[in-house]
């Protein structure tokens, strides 16, 4: 517990306020010093004077549309069949045949999605794709 007399300046309060002021001065000075540095970096990274208009990106079909069209014409994978049999053994008496057909279709979609993800080869320098929003 702090003991202080009314009207007297405690020595413990002055260093705290002084350190806050000092910290704020350092932050302000750093921010001011960073502006010219950022401008010089930005000017160094400007592209050459030849302007080429980039080709517009090709729209890719949505995964849902591709998946539904592909799974409608393809036979379920053996792994999806095995997963479906496990589901039938565990929950067979709790689901209707229509529900089981839907489960089997979704399991096949999950297996195919996992295969597509496994097919993408990442390099050591590839970073995760973070989406940050505040």
- Structural domain that includes position 82: 63-119
Residues of the chain with pLDDT under 50: 10, 12, 71
pLDDT of residue 115: 92
Note whether residue 100 is domain-resident.
Answer: yes
pLDDT of residue 60: 58
If you write DSSP's letter for every residue of 20-45 in order, what string do you get? HHHHHHHHHHHHHHHHHHHHHHHHHT
Sign of the four-CA dihedral 110, 115, 118, 121? negative
Residue for token pair 């007297």: 8
Q: What are phi and psi of 2, to 5 degrees?
A: -85, 135
Same domain, 32 and 67: no
Same domain, 115 and 76: yes
pLDDT of residue 92: 82
Residue for token pair 């496990």: 86
Q: pLDDT (tens digit, 9 = 90+) per residue, 41-70?
A: 655 555 555 555 566 666 555 555 555 555
Residue for token pair 């297996």: 111
Note whether residue 129 is domain-resident.
Answer: no
Per-residue three-class SS string for 65-78: HHHHHHHHHCCCCH
Note whether residue 7 is domain-resident.
Answer: no
The answer to whether the CB of 84 falls within 8 A of the CB of 76 is yes
């Amino acid at each position: 517990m702090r003991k202080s007399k009314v009207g007297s300046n405690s020595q413990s309060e002055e260093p705290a306020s002084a350190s806050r002021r000092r910290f704020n001065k350092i932050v302000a000075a750093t921010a001011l010093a960073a502006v010219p540095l950022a401008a010089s970096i930005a000017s160094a990274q400007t592209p050459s004077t030849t302007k080429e208009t980039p080709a517009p990106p090709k729209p890719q079909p949505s995964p849902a549309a591709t998946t539904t069209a592909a799974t409608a014409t393809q036979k379920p994978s053996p792994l999806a069949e095995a997963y479906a049999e496990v589901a039938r053994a565990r929950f067979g008496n709790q689901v209707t045949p229509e529900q089981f057909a839907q489960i089997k279709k979704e399991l096949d979609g999950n297996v195919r999605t996992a295969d597509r993800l496994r097919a993408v080869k990442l390099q050591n320098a590839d970073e995760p794709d973070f989406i940050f929003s505040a």
